[in-house]
Amino acid sequence: MWKESSGLLTLVLGGVLFGQVEVLDLTKRVLLPDRWWGVVGDSFLSGTEPVPPLDLSLILPQEVYRFDDEFVFEVAIKNITGVPFSIPWEPDWTKIVPEERPDRLPEGYCSAALFLNAGPAEQKVNLVAFGLEGSEEVGGSIRVLAPGETVRIRAKGNWSRLTRSVQTDLSPVKVSLWAEWVYFYGMRQTLAATEGVQWETGACSEPQEVTVEP
């Protein structure tokens, strides 16, 4: 059971206040698809960007869906280092890199994308993909996670891409879903403060199996 107030998620277990988790709710915001990837750094293009030290958990409201359903899901993101770790937190990139100055990256710029993937892995389909950007020049656009702190992102999804890629008849389909966080720019600067810190978890959640019916 959970209650929400002013962007904070309060978990109530057996009537006991468990804690408050900040939620970035994208379900009521218009996402901008023209530049969802943000600015891509050279290290990402060369395949050398390190894995973010984040533990992701996918939270789904149900286990059975229909192909024409629109659904809401959440991704919990936890800092698994022993030091503060920053993530971009603004979905509207025009607030970070204005269209009139696309050639200038603001101070402390960073960008990342969160994906909701469907599979099996060898046939991975991006059901949902949206970008987040941030800079030190725009207040609230970077979220600093304390060691062990968790935040959540809430978003909407649908099965339109899965329908085109997987559905071949009118039978129900078993699908694995998992969340994936990809840093595109600025992570090396962020990781400078975590030099020597080790982590074991990559930036993908454990897959969850659901059934999608016609």
Residue-wise pLDDT tens digits, 92-140? 888 888 766 656 778 888 888 888 999 876 778 889 888 898 999 999 9
Q: Supply the mean pLDDT for the chain.
A: 76
CATH number at residue 165: 2.60.40.10
Q: What pLDDT does residue 185 have?
A: 76
For residue 175, pLDDT beyond 60? yes
67 lies in some domain: yes
Q: What pLDDT does residue 183 have?
A: 78
Q: Which of 51-55, 68-72, 171-175, 203-207 has the lowest mean pLDDT?
A: 51-55
11 lies in some domain: no
9 lies in some domain: no
Supply angle C-alpha 212, 61, 116, rounded to 5: 65
180 lies in some domain: yes
For residue 196, pLDDT beyond 60? no
186 lies in some domain: yes
Mean pLDDT within 69-89: 92
Q: What pLDDT does residue 192 have?
A: 52
7 lies in some domain: no
Q: What is the largest CA-CA distance in the chain?
A: 53
Could you count the other beta carbons within 10 Å of the beta carbon of residue 107?
8
81 lies in some domain: yes
Which of 154-191 are b and which e, b meaning 16 or more Cβ less than 10 Å from the residue's Cβ?
bbebebeebeeebeeeeeebebebbbbbbbbbbbeebb
Domain span at residue 111 reads 21-208
Mean pLDDT within 158-179: 78
Could you count the other beta carbons within 10 Å of the beta carbon of residue 118?
24
156 lies in some domain: yes
* DSSP single-letter state for residue 102: T
Cα distance between residue 205 and residue 210, in whole Å: 15
Q: What pLDDT does residue 61 have?
A: 92
Domain count, the chain: 1
